[in-house]
Amino acid sequence: MAKFSLEKIIHAKREDVFKIFSNYENYPKLIPQYYSSIRIRSVRDNIAVVEEHLLLGDLELLFMAKHVATPSVLHEVYVIGGKSRGSYIRQEFIEIPEGTKILVDANLKLTGNMRIPKLLDSTKLSKHYSSLMDDFAKICEN
């Protein structure tokens, strides 16, 4: 299990930032270096079930996730299928004078052949996830 927290400031309006973060279907177009494929399985109100193929550094994750959104404020990801089942990521979007502060709390559970200690290093995973957030920030600020 790898747990980490991050904080990012994005110089853009909270509503605009949230729109980009919650538009899962466009992840492969926006950040293909992290998401090679996304397939939305269902959407109902503020909940979406999505098949995702995520690359975090050396770690390749194929999973099914339930995304729960409170527009412009909170985005929660519950991994409900795959070798990272039981993982949870919480992104809180806070409006600040400079734009938007995003607080990320991640609890990644990896099983099977992904339990190699070097891959599970929280610092390494945090660094790769931080790079993902930096790339999202660049998109939001342009």
**CA-based nearest residue to 124, from 141, 97, 106:** 106
99: left (phi over 0), alpha (psi -120 to 50) or beta: left
Give the per-residue pLDDT at 59: 85
Query: pLDDT, tens digit, for every residue of 62-98?
Result: 999 999 999 999 999 999 999 899 999 999 999 999 9
Instruction: Give the three-class secondary structure for 12.
Output: coil
- pLDDT single digits (tens) 87-129: 999 999 999 999 999 999 999 988 765 554 454 567 888 999 9
Q: For residues 45 and 96, give the distance between their C-alpha atoms in angstroms, rounded to a whole number.
A: 27
Q: How is the chain split into domains, by residue range? A: 2-141
The mean pLDDT of the chain is 92
Q: What is the CATH number of domain 2-141?
A: 3.30.530.20
Quote the CA–CA distance of 98 and 80 in Å, as a whole number: 35
Rounded alpha-carbon distances, angstroms, from residue 54 to 7, 41, 63, 115:
21, 16, 8, 17
User: Region 51-69: what's the mean pLDDT?
Assistant: 93
